[in-house]
Chain A
């Protein structure tokens, strides 16, 4: 029954919409003066004024609140300035308002943007979708609510992000929709190469704020020069110099609407989540890492287990082939494996790398990088079965005896390395003993020798007393 009534109503409305248009064309336009706003409000000021029948997607109330109108950006306009064909009174619904009749520039800006190209499609934004109808808002006063009316999911995610939360706390510097996407009229699709959110353009967009060390200081962002570091990184160069769409930009690691601080367990850059984030592109490496001691420890939540960024850094990710990275990463391994680094530095390998040569064994050359496993693991490159082959990578002809060399020997440990300990003690004793004996010998000789010299006079071979 209700459906029947609705159908009848719709028919009636359709009829009433078509008929007056036809008749308006037939009749010449009356030359009567345009109605004033007061004329309009005579009827539309009534809160109960409703359309004859409801239509999906349309409000049925025909009430126009004068107070809202007066508070809007259009406060000084008469109703007829927008509703140009309006007469007072009128029976037929008025044609849609053409904002572009006045806002020429806005139409030009909409140009080829997504908001414009979508017009005419179902759910496409009209001016009123964002700016309102009678309560016309200036762009400057608009909030994310305007965007949320269509992009509800994105805005909801944004609200929970570091940017959204900062805004809620009253931080006027935190990014909003427009900060990244640009002004709404010209907004372009992410896939458009001119868009500020296009893969190759995004770093520069984020840099509007994040290239500023002062901003980082104000907001307690731990790394002040992220943009500069990123631009020097292998990712940044690939994006900005080579134009590689597959190379990571800011949002690949941090997310876009959902950006959260690295201390937030839900953040993509939270340490425990980093392997997954990097592995989204570096799937092969992730597979190796997941099998390693580091990966296994990280997976069960060991907070000290190194993740990708611990070795490769977060922003200034460098080519691993380069000497600077290869030498720095030794120190990085040593930041946890202090004992191993100390003993490594005692050997030829460690000393030469300290001098800047990468041709000798570094941590990863023996232990593997992503595949690093415990010595006890038979699959480890430093396990008993694989050790000779690992040594032979650099020392062709290495034998089982050769592999008895201990690259991390500690001469100060008598329990673990007795022969080495006693060699060390012997050598140290020899050193101290020799210097103590001859040091004392020279000290005693010095005054005596001085006396001899003075007795003989300064000139050598002169007339000295006969012995």
Chain B
């Protein structure tokens, strides 16, 4: 590690929440896929390795509760920003909301892929990072809602017709497959596996970004903060060794679990 300058990109709250996302997402995937792939050998094996379908079901609901918790915490976080009248939550350079500029940068990025133009000057959130965020946001809403329906069918059947559960089964299962597939391939590639970041980008664990990476990956934000004189407020100490090792262990373990599941899904699909 160089002795370069570091800046905070994610605060502790962001990192704890992403930790909850990792734990619950992996937990849900590992406990949910055996049911989706109940007809396969590995589905049966995994289900029984987890203590049988009954226990697996309980674990799945346990991880669902973690998901609902962090989703509520995140909504609370946004509500707090709004109540504190923090500007630019729903619009502006720091907002997660997709903006015309993102579409423009997508076009520029593709031109850059072909060597037809420079790399776009991304702000705090590149368009694919926004997509990752919204994919999870939308995914939790859809999978969570359909999951709750299936969890308490007799309760919800007081308010909705029974065929909703048929739809919920398809939506829950397919959206989950989309989430698992997206996170373990596209998100992993965008965030960690592409050669520039390989084997992983520890920023979500350490919260710290080296100055050079900051200037290259988020030049618009870097320049804006420097111009506003807010850059120094973001200065960070270099990540301690334990944190770097911790990120490596958690990150690579998650990667291993995710890629194994992807391999099983793809192998089943190809069979």
Contact = CB atoms under 8 A, between A and B. Distances in A.
B194 A467 contact: no
A464 B212 contact: yes
A467 B162 contact: no
Interface string B40-53: 00011001100011
B163 interface: yes
Interface string A415-446: 00101100110011011001100110110111
Contact of A467 (B39, B185, B216): B216
A427 B175 contact: yes
B153 A402 contact: yes
A88 B178 CA distance: 113
A56 interface: no
Nearest to B112: A448
Interface stretch (B30-38, B64-72, B94-102, B243-251): B30-38
A396 interface: yes
| Main secondary structure on B side of the interface with A | helix
Interface stretch (B20-28, B164-172, B225-233): B164-172
A396 B157 CA distance: 12
| Main secondary structure on A side of the interface with B | helix
A180 B54 CA distance: 51
B1 interface: yes
Contacts of A348: 35, 150, 169
A351 B154 contact: no
Nearest to A350: B38
- Report the interface size class on chain A: 35 or more
A402 B154 contact: yes
Given A405-B163, A431-B174, A442 B186 contact: yes
Interface in B132-150: 135, 150
B53 A431 contact: no
B129 interface: no
Contacts of B54: 357, 359
Contact of A355 (B44, B158, B166, B189): B44
B186 A397 contact: no
Contact of B166 (A352, A401, A409, A431): A409
Contacts of B157: 398-399, 401-402, 405
Interface string A338-349: 000000011110
A430 to B, nearest CB: 6
A354 B39 contact: yes
B110 interface: yes
A401 B162 contact: yes
A461 interface: yes
A444 B170 contact: no
B53 A355 contact: yes
B2 A462 contact: yes
B154 A396 contact: yes
A444 B114 contact: yes
A354 B216 CA distance: 52
B191 to A, nearest CB: 11
B174 A467 contact: no
Interface stretch (A3-11, A147-155, A449-457): A449-457
B194 A461 contact: no
A1 B153 CA distance: 99
A444 B158 contact: no
A404 B153 CA distance: 12
A434 B185 CA distance: 12
B169 A347 contact: yes
A404 B157 CA distance: 9
Contacts of A356: 44, 47-48, 52-53
A446 B162 contact: no
Given A430-B178, A444-B114, A445-B113, A461 B4 contact: yes
Most chain A CB inside 10 Å of its own CB: which residue of B1, B114, B158, B170: B170
Contacts of B190: 442, 445
B259 interface: no
A111 to B, nearest CB: 59
A420 B166 contact: yes
A406 B213 contact: no
Nearest to A345: B39
Most chain B CB inside 10 Å of its own CB: which residue of A355, A411, A447, A448: A355
B16 interface: no
Interface string B172-201: 001101100110011001100011101000
Contact of B38 (A351, A427, A428): A351
Given A355-B34, A398-B154, 5 more contacts: A428-B174, A431-B178, A434-B186, A435-B185, A442-B190
Please provide the 3 A-B residue pairs with the shortest distance between their CB atoms, ordered closest to farther. A404-B162, A402-B157, A427-B174
8 contacts: A356-B47, A401-B157, A419-B163, A420-B167, A442-B185, A448-B113, A450-B195, A452-B196
